[in-house]
Amino acid sequence: MSEYWDTSCVLKLYTRETDSERVLELMELSPKPIILSVLVRAELVYAFLRKERDGQIRPGGSGPLLERLEMDEANGKFRFIELGREVLKRSEQVGRACLRGGRGILLRTLDGLHLGTAIHCGCKTIVTTDERMRAGAKKMGLRVVP
């Protein structure tokens, strides 16, 4: 069964962060291909550029990092899922379910789209370090790693 990874963890594969080693270990153990939304690519562009601006990666370093991502996709590590009507429907269902009962979980739009993509693809596990995504995924019955 495939796993869905959100941007918070994919970023750690390409740039050095405190828990990058742990995420690299998870990648080695994950069934391939890992499912990603096309949103991950867009979010990575901005994250790489921000890290470039802040001096965390060398000037011009975002281009080679995106090339590595594309090579990893070509080598079967990742499968990108396009946004379409079915993903949007699932995302709406996620939003409604997360707001049901008590105070509920107020997801951001992109969180809902990520979770909608995971559910649309039949993923039972989501790999994320984002707390709001973790809460939403648990509410939707997904296993959350790490």
Number of domains in the chain: 1
Q: Are 13 and 129 within 8 A, CB to CB?
A: no
Contacts for 11 with CB less than 8 Å, ≥ 6 apart: 17, 44, 47
pLDDT of residue 111: 96
CATH number at residue 58: 3.40.50.1010
pLDDT of residue 100: 86
Tokens standing for 57? Answer: 């990666």
pLDDT of residue 129: 93
pLDDT of residue 47: 97
pLDDT of residue 1: 73
Residue numbers of the chain with a pLDDT score lower than 70? none
The domain in which residue 84 lies consists of 3-145
Q: How far apart are CA 84 and CA 106, in angstroms?
A: 23
> Residue 127 forms beta bridges with which residues?
5, 145
